[in-house]
Amino acid sequence: MSEAANGKIKWGILGTGWIAEQFASDLKHASNGELYAIGSRTLESASTFAEKFGAPVSHGSYEELAADPNVDAIYVATPHPFHKENVLTALAGGKAVLCEKPFTVSAHELETLIEAARDKKLFLMEAMWSRFLSPIVQVRKWLEEEKIGEVRVVKAEFGFDAGWNPEGRLLNPELGGGALLDAGIYPVSFASMVFGPNPENIWTTAHIGETGVDEHFTIMLDYGDGKTASLHGGVRLELPNDAFIHGTKGYIHIPQFLFAKEATLHVSGEEPVRVTDDREDRGIKGYAYEAEEVGRALAEGRRESSVITLAESMGIMRLMDNVRGQWGLKYPFE
């Protein structure tokens, strides 16, 4: 690993879309990393992005970015149907990889990436940014301390109205569109954080829209021993986007859990305990925290995150494969 003079790892960003912009603008807040290079399909696009966000190096292809000897880690920020190819390119260049969610479009694709990373002894992680927000970190501590007793029910949802654009990423089956992979990954991952990624039973229903992708869905998960999760998502459906965790002694409420600016612990017979996140006051969106996790792992010689392991990401992809299978939904490129 070629650390910068200040001890920070040098980041490359593969892709120049909206999520790449969010990551790039937040990276300046990471304590152990800095933006170094941008890779795009054209040098003009990479240079424009690099100038906007202060990256000193631009590359006119993803292969050139992966081959840059000064890049330590690459954030893959392309649409999910391209993740497999792009991550393999980064790994072939010997880079640690943080891949935007969802990791891939199927468990089979993810299996290929995990095998490649392990063969090359390289770090690989899914960019589930919400796991690293301070209210969610506190929620995990409350659960570890059994503040609400034995957890029995999880409820989570993420939905929004993207409007009607059949050629756009969210509704186009050629681009892996639909609610599940884009929005649904968040409530599914949230339930996995609480109960794990391997429920005993899965029931689901979806509204398949005019373009042939799921516009909104409901998933019910049974983990046995009275533990269940009720999950909802949509890309043409406005939802409150809250999450609740119910236990035998109380419950936890996370408003707008995807962005997690606060969380409240309700224990029977006690005053509620509310924690808040002041990151916006400090000019931080929150993507810097997942970048810091990568930096910590590389400094410690780890090849995956303990917060969202490769095994958990694989379990989540298998769960979503099961869900799509029940709907009979396959993408044209599968």
What residue has token string 């009607």?
Answer: 164
Here the tokens at position 152 are 């029995």
Q: Which of 84, 95, 101, 261 is catalytic?
A: 101
- Catalytic annotation on 261? no
Phi, psi of 81 (to 5 degrees): -65, -15
- Do residues 95 and 122 lie in contact, with contact meaning Cβ atoms separated by under 8 Å? yes
Catalytic residues: 101
